[in-house]
Homo-oligomer: A and B are copies of this chain.
């Protein structure tokens, strides 16, 4: 690439070359998930206007929804004051961000000394993947 990518240089990637990326539903405001991005993931996300993360377990780019078809259309990309965290405002296709078949990955609430599941499975994960 010959163009100057100063906006990517401005991000403070950690020692593994990653930053956390938080996906928030643009309509409801729900925080759907947090995953990680490397430089290529962020650049691709901006280009496609769909969320592309970096899978640390599979050690490669992860186009969210590539198998489930629950892609995230990205309406806005934000950067924080320390330049080391990203927020994506997204339209969550299918209404399900979590691999458990729930809307959001944050379906457990701390209560009475334990993590309690407070949200339903909307679709059997075996039907998603």
List A residues at the B interface (Cβ < 8 Å). 6-7, 10, 20, 22, 24, 28-31, 33-34, 46, 76-82, 85, 87, 98-100, 102, 105-110, 113-115
CB distance from A59 to the nearest CB of B (A): 16
Check A81–B99 contact: CB distance below 8 A: yes
Min Cβ gap A123→B in Å is 14
Give the chain B neighbours of A20 by CB distance below 8 A: 20, 34
Contacting residue for A100 out of B77, B81, B102, B113, CB 8 A: B81
Query: How long is the Cα–Cα vector from A79 to B106 in the complex, in angstroms?
Result: 5
**Chain B residues near A34 (CB, 8 Å)?**
20, 22, 80, 85
Number of copies of chain A assembled together: 2
Chain A interface, DSSP helix/strand/loop, else mixed? mixed
Residues of B contacting A81 with CB < 8 Å? 98-100, 102, 105, 107
A119 to B85, CA, bound (A): 17
